[in-house]
Amino acid sequence: MRTLQEQILAYVPANDTEAQDKKEFLEQWTLLGDVFLQRPDVGHVTVSAMVLNPAMDAMLMVYHNIYQSLSWTGGHADGSQALLQKAVEEAREETGIQELIPLSSGILSLDKLPVKAHTRRGKPVAAHWHYNITYGFLASDRQPLAIKPDENSQVCWVSLQNWKERCSEPHMIPVYEKILTRMQHQMQEKQQRYALLPEVLLPWYDKHARVLPWRQDKDPYHIWLSEIMLQQTRVEAVKGYYQRFLQQLPDIAALAAAPENQLLKLWEGLGYYSRVRNLQKAAKIIMEQYDGQFPADYAAIRALPGIGDYTAGAIASICFDAPTPAVDGNVLRVVSRITENFANVLSPAVKKQMAEALTAVYPTGEKAYTFNQSLMELGATVCLPGGAPKCTVCPLCQWCLAYARDSWDVLPQKAAKKQRRIEEKTVFVLQCGPHIAVQKRPASGLLAGLWQFPNIEGNLDTQKALDQAAAWDVKPTAIEKVVQGKHIFTHIQWHMTCYYLQCEKPNDSFFWADAAMLQEQIALPTAFKQFLE
């Protein structure tokens, strides 16, 4: 994100008055230093938030007791240079609204505004100037409102059709009009970026698309399998799994008929095993209800087990040339940055809005498939997550609002995830001769129905670990070693202590597998396979 000084320098005045206000702002900051951001008597920095509802037909206003008028939300900088965040804090404090989405990271307006003499908390305040910086926001008008009793006596949404009648400060009306016009212009800018996407990305994709195994044809089974495998998994990791899976299960009929052990072994190490179970459930439905032919209708595809909006859109567009968006993490990142959209991309409503905006610009025929692929390809190879995007080689660079305003590093916005729950586990690799003890996990819950090494909750010390093995009646003779490990699931993190024990007696409660079985037949999830030598 740009610093405040960079934002001020990037701000382009629209007329001589604005140019003079910008000049004075920079002069005062140079003269006073950061004291200017505090509250010097003659003039100081304030920040305001102009908040509109999503329909952009009403604005949020508060009745400021000092000005005796309905006006925007805002307050003093009080030393902060993070004025965008300061605007959010002030709006929340004065109105009770919690969810505000910046329309842009850039300054909407910089204005020198007069403040008449007044009293504050019983003390006189002389007339002075506010060098006010305004940012624009969108907020749902369904959120609860609350006043700040010591300063405000009313909070309300005011229709843009009659807001001037509610404002009793004539000198502010031109400022509000200017800002409202600029917010409308910013929204138009965002919509224009969507329209540009097919025009720019289609020729780029033709030249820069990676050669991937699942791009060699448009067979729905191949595309479906690859899309399910690619969920939560890197492309390079999927390539080998994809080819091995198709070698053993070359079509939907083979997938539907595959025994569970074979299915889970083919998926071993990919994680999220419900994906492969849903693959088989869907394959059986296709065999029974569609005579083994993958359905071509989006709604029918979406109704299959394990297929969500994104996967259904990908299959429909890639295989059947349907103009249906496939909005995955890559697409959300690209669109968020191109349009500088600060909405939470994990919100289903935001995903739906982006999908609808993309649908409106989708090309028809085979270009629908290429357009979907191009968006995903740009996110995977250029507009990268977790680091600096490759803006210098991006075909959308000159139209990207996040690039222009240097806000790519805070986009896309994601609501904070809940902290993972940590669970301690003690794992046992029990070996009797060439055999190692394994057991099946319960049929429901985490890693349902998969194999595991015997384990119990908690972190046992050496003696308690030996006592536990003795309680299983495997007659432990020696501890070969103790290894620490961990495994991260979506909502849980396992901290694991693994004891390698030599035993004299196999226990009928466990299944004792040799090395060949562990390698070829038994599917151990990664959480336990890390302890297999």
Residue written as token pair 């399910």? 228
E strand segments, 407-503: 421-432, 435-440, 451-452, 455-457, 476-488, 492-503
501, 479 in Cβ contact below 8 A?
yes
Q: Say whether 315 sits in a helix, a strand or coil.
A: helix
135, 143 in Cβ contact below 8 A?
no
33-8-172 Cα angle (round to 5): 100
- Cα–Cα distance for residue pair 263/245, rounded to 1 Å: 9
The encoded tokens of residue 312 equal: 């259904």
- Longest Cα pair distance anywhere in the chain, in angstroms? 93
Q: Choosing from 24, 90, 99, 227, which is the catalytic residue?
A: 227
Catalytic residue flag (residue 227): yes
From residue 439, give the alpha-carbon distance in Å to each of 202, 405, 432, 477. 51, 56, 15, 21
Rg over CA atoms, the chain:
30
The encoded tokens of residue 143 equal: 């959120």
The encoded tokens of residue 255 equal: 């997938």
438, 513 in Cβ contact below 8 A?
yes
From residue 67, give the alpha-carbon distance in Å to each of 144, 166, 264. 24, 13, 69
The encoded tokens of residue 396 equal: 């959308």
The encoded tokens of residue 218 equal: 């448009």
- Cα–Cα distance for residue pair 288/290, rounded to 1 Å: 6
The encoded tokens of residue 416 equal: 């904070």
First-to-final CA distance of the chain: 48
136, 187 in Cβ contact below 8 A?
no
Nearest to 249 by CA among 238, 265, 234, 273: 265
Nearest to 285 by CA among 302, 266, 260, 262: 302
- Cα–Cα distance for residue pair 26/6, rounded to 1 Å: 11
Buried b (16+ CB within 10 A) or exposed e, 470-506: eebebebeeeeeeeeeebeeeeeebebbbbbbebeeb
Q: Which residues are catalytic?
A: 227
